């Protein structure tokens, strides 16, 4: 189990990570999402010991994470870090050896990984001879080469084509099935929603929502329904606590998106719709992670910016 407890990091006056806590269990895939400059990379660097936090703690299996613990982690840093002139096979063996893997074990692991990543015939090439997407695969292989117990991946899917995304997702899923915990950042929210057991949304250095996507949907969120009725507008007035969010005129009906107050039973809404005219469609609207993300990152921006000390030259603008 990996835990961050109350981690805070400042760069001068700027609070990049603010009292951040999260945990990722064994065999859990955790998606770390947030707007540009929200603090994801800083958090991951602290997790790996590349940066030191000003307050808080990184814990691994119930104890403060030390160098040994971190050696058992696999890391794909934002700045990447392959040697462009070095041959791929040689480089991966070297990185595994740095992490304490015996030479023959490393050599076998590298051959397996090259095959897994579809690079079996490129092992003798220099990194710089590969396409960017393939360099990315080698970078991921480098994070996996010492059979890590935990993976920290900064934007591992960026730059991969859809086939590469699926291949990497499967490689990670295999590790997860073997009990490896994975924390990765991504701006590809559809992918995060598809792959992750849990997500954490970070805004201005703080976790503003965390849990499964299903849990995030339920957290204090008004329920929305789409109702298409062969009648004019205004029928929703019959049910107190129903607010019309959008209306869309169709050939045979008016499709109304409504938000229900907690007191409203959706059956009342259906009854009112049927009383108004023939009901062509009636369904709850499930927000995607993109919808949830937009909601939580756009809430209370005035409050979120108040704990940073903005400098006009460097201030990030939340999306």
Ligand X SMILES: Nc1ncnc2c1ncn2[C@@H]1O[C@H](COP(=O)(O)OP(=O)(O)OP(=O)(O)O)[C@@H](O)[C@H]1O
Contact range with ligand X by CB under 6 A, out of 33-41, 61-69, 167-175, 209-217: 33-41
Contact between 19 and ligand X per CB under 6 A: no
Q: Which of residues 94-133 bind ligand X (CB under 6 A)?
A: none
Which CB atom, from 187 or from 280, has the smaller least distance to ligand X? 187
Residue 200 within binding range of ligand X, rule CB under 6 A: no
For ligand X, the closer of residues 11 and 83 by Cβ is 11
39 belongs to the binding site for ligand X (CB under 6 A): yes
Q: Minimum distance from CB of 201 to ligand X (Å)? A: 11
Taking the least distance from each CB to ligand X, the nearer of 30 and 117 is: 30
* Residue 309 in contact with ligand X, rule: CB under 6 A: no
Q: What angle do CA 306, 50, 176 make, to 5 degrees?
A: 95
Indicate the residue among 14 and 223 with the shorter CB distance to ligand X: 14
Residue 168, strand partner residues: none
The answer to whether residue 212 forms part of the interface with ligand X (CB under 6 A) is no
Pick the piece of the chain touching ligand X (CB under 6 A) from 36-44, 112-120, 140-148, 240-248.
36-44
Q: Which residue number, 45 or 137, has a Cβ lying nearer to ligand X?
A: 45
Residues contacting ligand X: total by CB under 6 A: 13
d(CA 83, CA 268): 65
Q: What residue ranges bind ligand X (CB under 6 A)?
A: 11, 14, 16, 34, 36-42, 314, 316
């Amino acid at each position: 189990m990996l835990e961050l407890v109350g981690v805070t990091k400042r760069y001068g006056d700027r609070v990049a990570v603010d009292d951040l806590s999260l945990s990722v269990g064994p065999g859990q895939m955790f998606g770390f999402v947030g707007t540009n400059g929200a603090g994801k990379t800083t958090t991951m660097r602290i997790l790996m010991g590349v940066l030191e936090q000003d307050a808080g703690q990184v814990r691994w299996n119930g104890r403060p994470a030390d160098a040994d613990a971190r050696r058992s982690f696999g890391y794909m840093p934002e700045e990447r870090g392959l040697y462009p002139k070095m041959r791929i096979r040689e480089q991966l063996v070297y990185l595994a050896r740095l992490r304490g893997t015996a030479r023959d074990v490393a050599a076998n692991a590298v051959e397996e990984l090259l095959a897994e990543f579809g690079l079996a015939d490129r092992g003798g090439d220099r990194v710089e001879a590969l396409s960017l997407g393939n360099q990315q695969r080698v970078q991921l292989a480098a994070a996996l080469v010492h059979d890590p117990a935990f993976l920290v991946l900064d934007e591992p899917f960026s730059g991969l084509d859809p086939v590469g995304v699926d291949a990497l997702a499967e490689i990670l899923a295999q590790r997860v099935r073997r009990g490896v915990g994975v924390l990765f950042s991504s701006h590809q929210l559809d992918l995060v929603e598809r792959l992750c057991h849990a997500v954490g949304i970070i805004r201005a250095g703080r976790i503003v929502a965390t849990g499964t996507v299903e849990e995030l949907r339920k957290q204090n969120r008004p329920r929305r329904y789409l109702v298409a009725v062969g009648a004019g507008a205004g029928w929703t007035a019959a049910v107190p606590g129903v607010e019309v969010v959008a209306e869309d005129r169709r050939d045979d009906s008016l499709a109304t998106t409504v938000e229900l107050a907690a007191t409203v039973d959706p059956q009342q809404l259906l009854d009112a719709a049927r009383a108004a005219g023939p009901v062509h469609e009636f369904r709850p609207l499930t927000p995607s992670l993109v919808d949830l993300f937009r909601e939580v990152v756009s809430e209370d921006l005035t409050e979120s910016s108040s704990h940073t000390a903005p400098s006009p030259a460097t201030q990030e603008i939340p999306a």
